[in-house]
Each structure stands twice: as structure tokens, then as C-alpha cells.
Structure 1
């Protein structure tokens, strides 16, 4: 059996903001969206005259592998969304370290490096985790209206991806409590409970992730847990002399050189930047929300949260607007 090895993180770019933690059996690399990082892989000992065959792949939720890069001597090929974003560091003949540039949300996951050199071979596994936030999402239609494909689309439209079990588990450990079941990226349905109660699994059950198991991706309908990461732009509340309807909100952001913000933007600004504003504002999906990081009277007095007002009539002139200006 091939032995699994894990290594510390190697920094390759000045823009890198990441750290690695060794859990004993493998290394976890933590980074932010937009970072350039390295995933280390190295063959120890003497290289043969025939050179190394190197394969990097990403492990998917169904245990299949998606090719990232394959190298055979001077011949190298990159695949899919990784084209023009990955290359080998190659500090010497035994180095198979992978560089990934401009990290994206979907880059999260486990990467496998395989090196073959004559009779020598080696497999390295590295977990790449993005710093971010998980948030529950349901559309204007209301609770439990998304099949799995709808859930993927809903998250993408809000600058997010469907969250993984590990991401939801981490959010639960940080205190997330939500009584509506939602899709995760492996096709299972779960919800996090920190305060057991009758409508949410019963008083006698322990805190944890309630599990509905794998569901029919086409016919089963639930909410979804989305994951987003650090912003690559500026999120802000656009002060106006009067309240706006939805169409006015969209056009007001455009006139300011921005776009109306998405739900993922407001959660990232709230959780990762501490954004706090006690003004309800329109977002791109037609919902109205406001972020509170400092609980106070009349502004989420009991907890820090992104407060959800609802999906009001888009013709109502009752709210402000949150805008997002991407980096040039």
C-alpha cells in the first residue's frame, strides 16, 4: 500500500495570506479567496534518468477525481477551470509542488499529488480550506422549494457555492443554530442545532447536525446552505435622501459605479469584516436585510446576525440599498 505523507505549507507569492496546520494524518492549508498558494509535494531520494511523472487531482464529493495537472518531463497539461491558473514550482528535479493562483470558491477541497519515478512512487494529500462563512438560503418562493440543481444555482447567484459538511460543521461549532433543513454539496440534507427544542428534533436530543441523509436530487426539495469567502471588492450601504423601490435601488448602485449587492456579499462583509449597519436595504435577489455585528437595542439586541426582513413587494419605497463595487 502506498503511504500517505503530509507537509507544511510553502509560500510562493507576496499576496499569500494562508497558514497550514498539521492534524497528524494530513495537512490543512487555510487561505482566502484571491490568494496565490502552494500545495507541497516532493519525492525524496535520487531521481532516475527517466524523470518524474506527476499527477495532481482534486478529490470530489463522490470520491471521483478531477484532473488538475499532469506532467511527464517537459510535457505538461492543465485541465478545466485550472487552466492558466496552476503550474509546478519545480525548485529542483524532485519538487512537484503545485501553485494555484487567484483562488476561487470551488477550489476548496482535498488535492492528491502522485509522483512516479522508476520504481519509486509517492502520494501526498493536502486539504485546502478557504476562510469564509456559511449561510442558510431560501428563495422568494419560500421554505423548501429547491431541488439540488436549484440549490446550486441559488448559491451561485448569490456569490457562493453549496457548502460542504465540513464547512457546516465548523459553523455549528461556532454557534450556528438553524431549524430549516438544507442541501449540502454531497447531496445530503442537514441542519445545525445548538439549542435543542421541540420543533427542531425534540428537547431530548443532543445538540449537533440533524441528518436527513442523501435525498433524491431531482425530486426532493429543501433549503440550501451556501458558502462564500472574502470579498474581492467593496460592500457598502449607499446613503440616499429618500427610500427606494427595488428598481430604483438597482439603478442607484449602477449610477455609483457599482452593482446591487448579493446575499453572499452581505454575509462576507458581516462575518469577515465586522460590517455593522442598522438600516434595512435591498439586495439583488429582491430580499431586504441588514448586518449587525454589535448587538444593541432596536438592532438585533440578542445576537450578532444578518437580519432578514423578507421579500417585500418590489414596488414599495420603504428601504435603502446595499451596493458592491468589484475591484478593478
Structure 2
């Protein structure tokens, strides 16, 4: 009406562009006849206009107040004209200029999937698919606001538990996305790599060592799965199907997942065992199973964690083949330690309708070092070492058993008690910090006061 009173009409983007290009003295936001607001480009703060097929001005769907750009001549035939370029048919929508949002929304993201879909239909179009957006980007389209596409995945910023995250996605007429949906929607690179819940219970983008904004293939991922309180954003998929609630979301080729207690606390040995069994119907993985997943499949499990038998350590020390896992240096990193120490844990989840089996997690020679901690190993008196071995279902080893283990490749540079009260350690590889001047396969520190603290050797 303002423009009509000026004996004209709202200007089209093309009229504005050709009238003022290459530079405007007035770059205020303002209505155009297409319904878009001029000068609401996302990242360009210069007082210039992009070419018509490269613009990304916002189009409001609800209340929005702004100035206006008028063209002096009015032609009623313009009322049904298509004001968008033939080569680029995607526009950016919003609900209003200052819509207030709930805790589960952000100021930038104000449309549910259905609202976005209806809004596109209202403009005589349809919700774009990913390929169409990619084609638009190749033609110069720039938009740094995440938005819905057909069959799409979107990130909702929130501070939500798993149940709350499920409710957030349900409110968007969808459900939490699976890892595969996230992977195929955004691969190979995301502009948004925030941590977020997936329907499997894992937290996307919590890989151990990969800090790039990429996603690993589904059978190589190592995202953490919380066993207790954890708050994060969420990745939603637009379609919800109740039949998906009982789907197995883990790859058939790789059944080991990494567990934690919460965002700020890891798990003790017993907590690891309980969570794996009660929450996933699984059992703790053996060190060799975790090593196989890392060595053969490329899964990044290179971090200290709990295993079956309450063994602990980092399985990625060295590069032995799986058949030589228990040899130096790889097997040297696996020990029995204080079960109250908090680590991640590695849980083996059986395939659907498969029974759970419990393989032997210990090396063939059956000797394992028991210590207080990896950083401070010498914490056990003779009696404490003896009781620890009994607690693990074994006995304190004798010297012969440790010597036999050494002949089978066992190497441990932490001196420990044996039954006789002697403190010894077996080595297969001489090194500066673990040197045996006499080249004895088992180095002896002699018989010590049994109240002094060392490690111990258990025969399991």
C-alpha cells in the first residue's frame, strides 16, 4: 500500500539490483514484491547486492515489519509473475522477525519439518532435497542456517537427556536419527559437528581422536554411549516409525561399543559390567576382540578401558598382529588393576536372537600382573596382592609359572610378588627403562619385606 500511494509497486529483486548495482548508499532491510526482505543475506555485510540467482535473502512466513523498496511504475500483470530465477529455485524461510522460542528451539531455527514443508507449498514449490541444495550451492547459493530437506536430518541444539531428546524430535514430527541416517545425510563433511543424541543411544561426534568435522563409516565409529545421566543436543530424522523402536542399530560386522557413565564421569569395573549386561544384554569385550576391531576394521578404540575379566588397559599399544596380541609391546599394556578406577568400558553386544557367550579373556599362559594403577603401580603389599588374585578367581603365581609365561612371550616391566615372597618381573625385550644386566628371562629384586608395596603376579 505504501508503494501504491507512491503510484508504483514493491520493487522486484531484479529492479533493485539493476537500479543500484554495483553499490548502494542505503542498505536498509526492506520488502520486495517477491515477499523477501532485501539485505538479509547471511554472511555478506558489505553494502552490495548479489546477482539474482545467488541471493539468499530471508522470506518471512509470519509477522515481519520492515521498510520497503518501491518501483515507480505499477503494472497489475506483475501480480502473478514468478520473481525467482529459473536456475536457482530454493529460498530461505523464517517464521517471524523476533519469534520467541522454547528451550528446545534456537532463535535461528523456528520451523518444524511440517511448517517448512507447508511454507514451501504455499510459495508454489516443494521442500528441496539434498541434491537440489547441492546444485544451488554450485551455482553460488550461500546459506549458513541449517534447514530441513526432504527425508532430512537436522540438529536441534538442546541440553537434553535421551528421553528428552526423543521428545524434542517427536515434537518435530520425527524421531532421533540413526547413525546411518546421519552419515548418509551429511557425508562427507558437516558444517555442524556438535555432539548429539542418536536413536541407538550413542552421542554423535564423540570419537576418541578424530577432531575433524567428518563422520566415519558406520562399522568404524567409536562414539560413546552413556549409561547414566548425560545431556546433549539431538539429531532428528523427520519420519517416525514405531517399528524402528526395536531395530538393532549397530552394524553386524562390528558389535563392540564404548560406554561411559555420564558426561563427566566414567565407569568402575563393576559399573561397566552391570551397564553392559542390563542396558544392552551384552558382556564386556575381551582385549583381543577390541584389538581386532581396531586392527582389522579400523575402529578407533585406542584408549584405556575395562574388559571382560576386569582387565584394563589400552589395546592399541604397538602394532602386533592379532595372533601376537599378548606379546610385547601390545599385551604388556593389559593388566589387572584397582577395579574402582574409572575408565571407559568396551561392551560386546550380541546379534539379535543370538545367545551371549563368554570367551576366555586371559592369555594362554594364564599369568597377569595386578597393580594399583597404571600411573602408580606399586601399591600392593604381599597380602593385598594375594587377596587381589583370589578376588579375580586365581591365586598368587609362583616363580615357575611366571618363567613359563615368559617363555610363551609374556613381558611385564612392573615388579611383583610371587608366592615365595620374592619380587620379580619377566621381560622378553631389553629396553632402557626395563634392563636386565644378567640377561635373565626373569629379573629378581630379591625377597622383600612383605609390608612393602609392589605389584603382584596372578595365575588365573
TM bucket (normalised to shorter chain) is: under 0.3
- Look at both structures and tell me which one has the larger radius of gyration over its CA atoms: 2
| Structure with more of its chain in helix, by fraction | 2
Higher-RCO chain (CA-CA 8 Å, sequence separation at least 6): 1
**How does the TM-score come out when normalised to structure 2?**
0.22
| Structure with more of its chain in strand, by fraction | 1
**How does the TM-score come out when normalised to structure 1?**
0.28
